[in-house]
Amino acid sequence: MTEQNATTATATATPRRALPPLMTLTDRAAQRLEKLYQTNHAGHLLRIAVSTKGCSGHAYDMSFVEQAGPGDEVVVDKGVTLLVDRKATLFLIGSVMDYEVKQLESGFTFSNPNEKGRCGCGESFHV
């Protein structure tokens, strides 16, 4: 290849489109996680996974772990760190985690743009 051909064969790089964050936290979720980390789960991180269960096929699983597993994605939002199981990343891209307090229960909830539907009880979802 001549020098002139090498120059003309060079492709111009186009900038990659910005990727959406894997997950984000609402202020309430971040505050609740901070409180959990400071009290009951000092030295641990919340790890989010998606398991195959429920009548719609998938459910969110959350547990506290001492360290990240191989391939876990580290998510930092609003100064709070959590982990996402690598197998769950495609299910969770663009999700927002919230903490809701209701009259009879309270807990973390997910607003997931990848969900196509949920079961009647709301415990599982499908994509």
Residue 83 belongs to a domain with what CATH number? Answer: 2.60.300.12
Residue 102 lies inside a defined structural domain of this protein: yes
d(CA 126, CA 91): 9
Range of the domain at 89: 20-122
User: 108 pLDDT band (50/70/90 cuts)?
Assistant: very high
What's the number of domains the chain is made of? 1
pLDDT for res 53:
72
- Determine the average pLDDT of the residues in 78-84: 95
Strands across the sheet with 58-65, in order?
A: 73-77, 80-84, 45-52, 58-65, 125-126, 117-118
pLDDT for res 10:
57
Residue 73 lies inside a defined structural domain of this protein: yes
